[in-house]
């Protein structure tokens, strides 16, 4: 197959979250993938150090998933999402609830993580309105939080660069992020910082709980740089939400379905939210699908407004909500997760990965290393006035060496495949150590 792209083909595509000008001068083109490796257009094998974009924990080209998608494409390529249904959407919804914490058992589909977040924020506001508390509209996020790129998501999101270009968003408040200097180089959950959850009390004092709908956090913040929650932090946030009648939303687009060595971040950290979002891993990245899962009584509240049964209970949804290909892929991916004990495997490999990644602590420019499950983040010392440059340079050198890792802001991020071997971990860590150099 000819993989050579013309300049006008390169020019035509405005790439997302990419330095387009640099990329188009020196394209990095992936043409195939299998297991833990990509093949680039030069025929090189490249280790996938972020499981796609935190999507493909089960590796690439998983036989059961390929088969499910191709069979589905033959049988039913699309079915209208509104007012009509197809069997796999219902089957997958029930299957998803088996992976969720007790009580979260109603599933709303969408096409991406960003949409799952928007859906969660709208459900939270709608819920209070139908409960007769229409002033409960304010949404609270957290510094360094990433909740996708739509207007609700960037409003509660806590990454300034993702907001700055786009002007005014929703009027929200933010808890402080949990990245404390005293926790640098923590292994797993940091010891200090549970009290940062109490910032919620200050926000409540400012606005009053009667005006606050929900607080949304990632159990472990991912794209902002991999920040596991301080011990006790999520418990404290849960209690404050309970005491003040505020909904707690966990954005588990990265944490959900295995990455933390548990079915969800909620399970890993022992706290159950009222609403939980997933995407990415639910189809192992093979077909876009997101979902927002809510407590049954939240769903029931929408059903019990007294409106006629033919009326819409919630005027919200997407053309691709519960797309047949996505639902087939989801059913297959969750089956493989179960059949292969992939989640237990993540928990088993996590300690080895932790020791390996922390062996880079003395490398040049490394300011902090954090990890949980099969996720890790490294913060690098910035070039003066150029905070984004060093991680980019390191990631490019890693690509040259045959490793794909993610760079974002002043961090490098790793999200290894669930069945990564110790040899693969060693070779990735060695290559990264060599690239960073030692102090």
Helix (H) or strand (E) holding 40: strand 37-40
Using the minimum distance from each CB to ligand PLP, give the nearer residue, 199 or 218.
218
What residues between 96 and 155 interact with ligand PLP by CB under 6 A?
112-114, 117, 146-148
Residue 204 beta carbon to ligand PLP: minimum distance, rounded to whole angstroms? 24
Nearest distance from residue 208's CB to ligand PLP, in Å?
28
Q: Which is nearer to ligand PLP, 69 or 253 (CB)?
A: 253
Name the residue nearer to ligand PLP (CB basis): 58 or 130: 58
By the rule CB under 6 A, 253 interacts with ligand PLP:
yes
Task: Give the binding range for ligand PLP (CB under 6 A) out of 80-88, 175-183, 204-212, 218-226.
Answer: 218-226
Which one of the spans 162-170, 247-255, 299-307, 431-439 is the region binding ligand PLP (CB under 6 A)?
247-255
Q: How many CA atoms lie within 13 A of 110 on its CB side?
A: 19
- How many Cα atoms sit within 13 Å of 378 on the Cβ side? 30
412: left (phi over 0), alpha (psi -120 to 50) or beta: beta
DSSP code at position 176 = P
In angstroms, the CA 198 to CA 186 distance is 22
- Quick one: tokens of 270? 């022992």
Residue 329 binds to ligand PLP (criterion: CB under 6 A): no
Shortest Å distance, C-beta 113 to ligand PLP: 2
Q: Considering the complex, state which of residue 114 and residue 186 has its C-beta at the smaller distance from ligand PLP.
A: 114
204 vs 273 by CB, closer to ligand PLP: 273
Contact 318, 115 (CB under 8 A): yes
Least distance between ligand PLP and beta carbon 264 (Å): 13
Which tokens go with 364? 């040049």
* Nearest of 269, 172, 273 to residue 228 by alpha carbon: 269
Which residue among 48, 173, 218, 424 contacts ligand PLP (CB under 6 A)?
Answer: 218
Strands in 45-48's sheet, in edge-to-edge order, are 30-34, 37-40, 45-48, 403-404
Closest to ligand PLP by CB, 218 vs 356, is 218
Q: How far is the CB of 280 from ligand PLP (least distance, A)?
A: 7
Measure the CA–CA gap between 63 and 336, rounded to whole angstroms.
Answer: 10
How far does Cα 48 stand from its chain's mean position?
A: 17
Q: Counting contacts by CB under 6 A, is residue 222 touching ligand PLP?
A: yes
Cα 342 to Cα 57: distance, rounded to the nearest angstrom: 9
Closer to ligand PLP by CB, 356 or 409: give it: 409
Q: Give the footprint of ligand PLP on this chain (CB under 6 A).
A: 112-114, 117, 146-148, 218, 222-223, 251, 253-254, 279
């Amino acid at each position: 197959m000819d993989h050579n792209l013309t300049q006008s083909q390169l020019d035509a595509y405005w790439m997302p979250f990419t330095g387009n000008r640099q990329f188009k001068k020196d394209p990095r083109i992936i043409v195939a993938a299998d297991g833990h490796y990509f093949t680039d257009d030069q025929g090189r094998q490249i280790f996938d150090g972020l499981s796609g974009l935190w999507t493909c924990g089960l590796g690439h080209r998983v036989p059961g998933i390929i088969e499910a998608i191709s069979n589905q494409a033959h049988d039913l390529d699309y079915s209208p999402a509104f007012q009509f249904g197809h069997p796999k959407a219902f089957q997958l919804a029930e299957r998803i609830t088996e992976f969720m914490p007790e009580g979260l058992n109603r599933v709303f589909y969408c096409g991406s993580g960003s949409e799952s977040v928007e859906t969660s924020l709208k459900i939270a506001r709608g819920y209070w309105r139908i409960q007769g508390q229409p002033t409960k509209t304010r949404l609270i996020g957290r510094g360094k939080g990433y909740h996708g790129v739509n207007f609700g998501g960037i409003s509660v999101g806590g990454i300034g660069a993702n907001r700055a270009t786009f002007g005014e968003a929703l009027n929200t408040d933010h808890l402080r992020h949990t990245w404390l200097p005293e926790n640098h180089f923590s292994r797993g959950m940091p010891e200090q910082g549970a009290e940062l959850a109490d910032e919620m009390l200050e926000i409540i004092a400012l606005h009053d709980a009667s005006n606050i709908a929900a607080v949304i956090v990632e159990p472990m913040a991912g794209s902002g740089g991999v920040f596991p929650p301080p011990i006790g932090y999520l418990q404290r946030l849960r209690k404050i939400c309970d005491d003040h009648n505020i909904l707690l939303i966990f954005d588990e687009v990265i944490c959900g379905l295995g990455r933390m060595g548990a079915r969800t971040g909620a399970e890993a950290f022992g706290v159950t939210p009222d609403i939980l979002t997933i995407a990415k891993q639910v189809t192992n990245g093979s077909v876009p699908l997101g979902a927002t899962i809510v407590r049954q009584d939240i769903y029931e509240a929408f059903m019990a407004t007294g409106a006629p049964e033919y009326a819409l209970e919630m005027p919200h949804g997407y053309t691709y909500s519960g797309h047949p290909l996505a639902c087939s892929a989801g059913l297959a991916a969750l089956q493989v997760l179960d059949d292969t004990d992939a989640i237990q495997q993540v928990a088993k490999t996590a300690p080895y990965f932790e020791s390996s990644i922390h062996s880079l602590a003395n490398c040049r420019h490394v300011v902090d290393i954090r990890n949980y499950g099969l996720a890790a983040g490294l913060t690098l010392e910035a070039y003066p006035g150029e905070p984004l440059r060093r991680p980019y340079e390191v990631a490019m050198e890693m690509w040259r060496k045959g490793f794909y890792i993610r760079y974002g802001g002043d961090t490098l991020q790793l999200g290894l495949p669930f069945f990564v071997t110790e040899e693969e971990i060693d070779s990735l860590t060695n290559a990264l150590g060599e690239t960073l150099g030692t102090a």
